[in-house]
Structure 1
Amino acid sequence: MVFSKKFQFVIPFFLFMLHLHASTAQNIGGYWFAGSGFPASSINSTLFTHLFFAFADINVTTYRVTISSSNSVPLSSFTQTVQQKNPSVKTLLSIGGGASNPSIFSAMASQPSSRKSFIDSAIQLARSNNLHGIDVDWEYPSTPSDMQNFGQLVTELRTSVVIEARDSGKSALLLSAAVFRSSNYYSLNFPAKAMNDSFDFLNLMTYDFHGPNWFPNRTAPPAALYFQTNSGAYQVGGDQGISSWIAAGVSPRKIALGIPYYGYAWRLRNASNNGLYAPANGSAFGGDGSMGYNQIRAFVSQNGARCVYNSTVVTDYCSSGTTWIGYDDVQSVTAKVNYCKSRGLFGHFVWHVGADNNWALSQTAYNTWKM
């Protein structure tokens, strides 16, 4: 980057825009993707402040942000559709996701020219489809150079967004990122200062801690807020991750806690031993054992499952026969939203809105914020 007189003008304007973007808590985000089979027109957008269109892709040759042909029409109408019920809801284009190839992100971020291609095309795609922001979902930077390049990318992204807003006369695009639960990715530190300075908020993926494919021998909470020592499970919790990001220098008012609208099903070894950390034998239904919240509630209803809320780690679980499911229900969602309030966080977000059950979780979260 050439540090010209033009760039010298950017610095005070950059700080001014960061001040404008400083937000109070009680922000509720929700991810939606066209492939879910859940139409955008069915989203109860009155229960959200931010909605994310998932996902845009990165071209492996040009490093431009692109949208698939199947997603182009839903994207073009996304903002208009969700604002019919809530005119003030903000929409963001999420780029990447768990199914994307992290090596493409790595290659893109490694060179100034490819970073510029990514940034310019992301801004253009968001603007041309009337979205209010960009969400970067790189899962995950996994080398020291990746982390350094990620910091450079987000700094240049913020600068470009500020310049584009100045030149267009429009409000600056919002910038967010979906990030690992902790400020370090298996001993590699994220560029926390650059991220705090550049992003309006960070969506912490505080879920997928345990599942039957990678923790097959015991039941465990997939998205616990706190961990229980001496449980035999991997000791990880959402509070631990949030505290690490704050300790790394990210403002609590830029942190959103992730809440999954899905859980995981284990097969119990003994139907009578059906609590947390009970002996298990992998997935109850094959695959990775994941189930949407609406599917879980249907299972409970159809099987008369016994449901329990554990306030120590903050999780819900249910069991019927040898099937055991760990998930978030209204009790754990209420506790997590109250936690966000008590810590002065930006808010929370959910993956994904189409898996709710008659908006039970979303309405609970919304009502809890308003209490």
Structure 2
Amino acid sequence: MCKITLGMLTVVLIVVGCKSVDVPYKSNLTERKLQVDLTGGKKVMAYFPEWGGIEGGYTVWDVPAEHLTHLFYAFAHLTEDGQVKVDMLSKGLEMVYPEGKGVQGVKGHLRQLIELKKKYPHLKTLISIGGWELSMHFSSLSVTAYGRETLAKNAVAFMHKYQFDGIDIDWEFPVKGSKYKDKQRPEDRENFTKLMQAIRDEMDFYEEEDDKEYLLTAAVTVSIYRQKHLELQKLSKLFDFVNVMVYDMHGRWIKDQTGHLSPMYPTKAIAGDENICGDIGLQGYLNAGFKPGQIMVGAPLYAAGWQGVDVKKEGVFQKAVGLAKGTSVHKGYYEWRYIAKELLEKQGNQYYLKMDEDAKAAYVWAPEVDGGTWITCPSRASYQAKIDYVKQYDLGGMFFWDVSNDVRDPESVQSLIRFTADGLMHSKSYK
């Protein structure tokens, strides 16, 4: 029997010249069991960058899949007319994997990811659509029912074609805060909900066909101010879970002052808005109706640094001459693996790992390097604070941006992914 979906009906109406009617919000998830406990425990998840990380050579077979429950493939490209496409063909579909890595004869990250899942059948994969650079068309497509249905159909078709277990929407950001200031509008708040409903409706069709439940998730803001641009109570009935980006609360876009990238709590040393922290942002989702198991805590595997930093308070929230050199073409940018190996391990007499105990945020302080170098970064101690928070409020788990920035050996004591997996999935703790 051919099932006629809402999306199909909308297209038929348009083809025959009828005026399409905007579809009001509805939720078909009030009786649907949200997939918040697929493995019987906490989730440990990561984003995989299609471009292969800063150096471009990271592959899906470098992912420590044995220590993860979910992997998000970032990002699919959303076009102006609602198509969902591979963003980098050279990486996603055409890349020839080096000998000895992956399955020979299988080209591209997307197809190799299918092979990876055969080895690790516990691993759930999701296609993440959007991101900071590719969110420019969400707003315009979400204005009409036709645009939302088109996007939904193409997103689900992409998911199905490349054998993903779900879709992750990374619209940065509805209403305000986008990189593309001219491509956001006040009605994004309501249209975001309608778009998620359209995707969920389209997923339901495939669920019946495949006899499988698919995940619908989103990467969402930690900012309590931006949360008002989302209909959180309604969204809590649509998403299986949300990835709260508990990072980028301070960063390289502020070139003359240091600050914490991922503070969990307010700090006495802060020089800005002390309401921007992980705790307040996460509580915003709980207070809006999300179940604890639907909320995932984000953690960065990258860092930002400044030089010429004032020595007061060991550089915490102090003026800086500018961004530090960093380890890539992106000035001031550091990978955790570089900090762990090249700075702390090899130059530990100059670079000191510190902790702001109020904020539960780590930083590296090098007072003698380049007039004072200060780096806001992750650490085992700052991750432990997030692990403790997940356990305290019985949240769903943690996720990382991005997996390529961790140390390459997942068994290393410096691996923050392994550290988190031990803390959340294996009930193993460290001194």
Two-structure CA RMSD over aligned residues (Å): 2.2
Query: Letter of the aligned partner of 2:387 in structure 1?
Result: V
Alignment size in residue pairs? 357
Query: Letter of the aligned partner of 1:349 in structure 2?
Result: F
Tell me how far apart the structure 2 counterparts of residues 303 and 29 of structure 1 sit (CA, whole Å).
Answer: 31
Whichever of the two has the greater Rg, that structure is: 2
Q: Larger helix proportion, structure 1 or 2?
A: 1
Question: Cα offset for 1:259?
Answer: 0.2
Query: Does the CA-based 8 Å contact 1:221-1:326 persist in structure 2?
Result: yes
* 3-state SS of 2:48 partner: strand
- Alignment map for 1:84-233 (pairs within 5 Å): 84=119, 86-102=120-136, 104-142=137-175, 143-166=185-208, 168-182=209-223, 184-185=225-226, 188-214=228-254, 216-217=256-257, 219-229=258-268, 231-233=270-272
- Alignment map for 1:201-350 (pairs within 5 Å): 201-214=241-254, 216-217=256-257, 219-229=258-268, 231-235=270-274, 236-270=276-310, 274-285=314-325, 287-297=330-340, 298-304=342-348, 305-320=351-366, 321=368, 322-350=372-400
Query: Does the CA-based 8 Å contact 1:273-1:279 persist in structure 2?
Result: no
**Stretches of structure 2 lacking an aligned partner (at least 5 in a row):** 1-5, 10-25, 94-107, 176-184
Would the alpha carbon gap of residues 25 and 242 (structure 1) be closer, same or farther in structure 2, given more than 3 Å must change? farther
Query: Does the CA-based 8 Å contact 1:77-1:129 persist in structure 2?
Result: no
Question: Cα offset for 1:25?
Answer: 5.1
Would the alpha carbon gap of residues 326 and 82 (structure 1) be closer, same or farther in structure 2, given more than 3 Å must change? farther
Query: Letter of the aligned partner of 2:337 in structure 1?
Result: N
Tell me how far apart the structure 2 counterparts of residues 310 and 175 of structure 1 sit (CA, whole Å).
Answer: 36
Give me the TM-score of the superposition, normalised by structure 1.
Answer: 0.90
Query: Does the CA-based 8 Å contact 2:27-2:238 persist in structure 1?
Result: no
Would the alpha carbon gap of residues 356 and 82 (structure 1) be closer, same or farther in structure 2, given more than 3 Å must change? farther
Query: Letter of the aligned partner of 1:209 in structure 2?
Result: M
Question: Cα offset for 1:28?
Answer: 0.9
Tell me how far apart the structure 2 counterparts of residues 209 and 20 of structure 1 sit (CA, whole Å).
Answer: 30
**Stretches of structure 1 lacking an aligned partner (at least 5 in a row):** 5-10
Question: Cα offset for 1:366?
Answer: 0.7
Instruction: Give me the identity figure in percent.
Output: 25
